[in-house]
Amino acid sequence: MNCTNVNLEYKSANKALTTELDRYKEEVKDLKERQNVENSFSGSNEQYAEIERLKQTLSEQVQEKDSLMKTVSDLKNDLKMEENRNIDREIALEKKIKQLDNIIFKRELKDIFNNFNQYLVDELADVQNVFYQMEQAVEQHRLESKTFEVKMNQVLSENERLLAQAIDHR
């Protein structure tokens, strides 16, 4: 064998051993880390108990948060439903207000019409009264005219009689 081959074999063996040594060092490092972790837990049951208690507290708080989130969600839904009901009530009230306004307007219009109607009735009564007074005055005038005519005829008859008598006496 020559030196070059031997050197190559040594280099190859050296490389394989170096790789194996690196792998071994990595395993030792991992084992030491595990041992440190185990030692830190096994060395202190109080710390382990504290961690477990914190885990339990965290779990309870997560459950409480979830419960509160559900409650908030339910309350939001309830609020939305109540808002919708309130909107429906408001619309219904507005319709009732419009109906009441219409009723009030109709009553006011009816009152105005009744007042106007009463005014017309009163005016008609006044006009009828005036016509009645006019009829009375016309009737009175007719009677007076008739009486005047009768008296006039009497005066004329008397004048004719006196004239005839005066002519006869002459």
User: Which pLDDT does position 18 carry in this prediction?
Assistant: 82
Cα distances from 161 to residues 86, 92, 151, 158, in angstroms, run 109, 100, 15, 5
Regarding whether 105 and 48 lie in a shared domain, the answer is yes
User: Which pLDDT does position 93 carry in this prediction?
Assistant: 94
- Window from 49-63, 111-125, 147-161 with minimum mean pLDDT: 49-63
Regarding whether 134 and 76 lie in a shared domain, the answer is yes
User: Which pLDDT does position 41 carry in this prediction?
Assistant: 56
Measured CA to CA, the distance from residue 113 to residue 91 in angstroms comes to 32
Query: Could you give the dihedral angle defined by the CA atoms of residues 72, 78, 81 and 86, in that order, rounded to the nearest 10 degrees?
Result: -110
Regarding whether 122 and 74 lie in a shared domain, the answer is yes
Model confidence band, residue 1 (pLDDT cutoffs 50, 70, 90): low
Regarding whether 153 and 95 lie in a shared domain, the answer is yes
Regarding whether 23 and 106 lie in a shared domain, the answer is no
- Residue-range definition of the domain harbouring residue 137: 44-168
Phi and psi angles of residue 2, each rounded to the nearest 5 degrees, phi first: -100, 170
Regarding whether 158 and 78 lie in a shared domain, the answer is yes
- DSSP H helical ranges for the chain: 3-43, 45-168
Q: What is the pLDDT of residues 114-144, one digit of tens each?
A: 999 999 999 999 999 999 999 999 999 999 9
pTM: 0.39
Q: Which of 43, 59, 76 marks a domain boundary? A: 43
User: Which pLDDT does position 3 carry in this prediction?
Assistant: 66
Regarding whether 161 and 132 lie in a shared domain, the answer is yes
Query: Could you give the dihedral angle defined by the CA atoms of residues 60, 65, 66 and 71, in that order, rounded to the nearest 10 degrees?
Result: 130
Between 11 and 58, the more confident residue is 58
Q: What is the pLDDT of residues 83-121, one digit of tens each?
A: 999 999 999 999 999 999 999 999 999 999 999 999 999
Domains: count for the chain: 2
Regarding whether 104 and 82 lie in a shared domain, the answer is yes
Regarding whether 156 and 121 lie in a shared domain, the answer is yes
Cα distances from 46 to residues 8, 49, 50, 57, in angstroms, run 58, 5, 6, 16
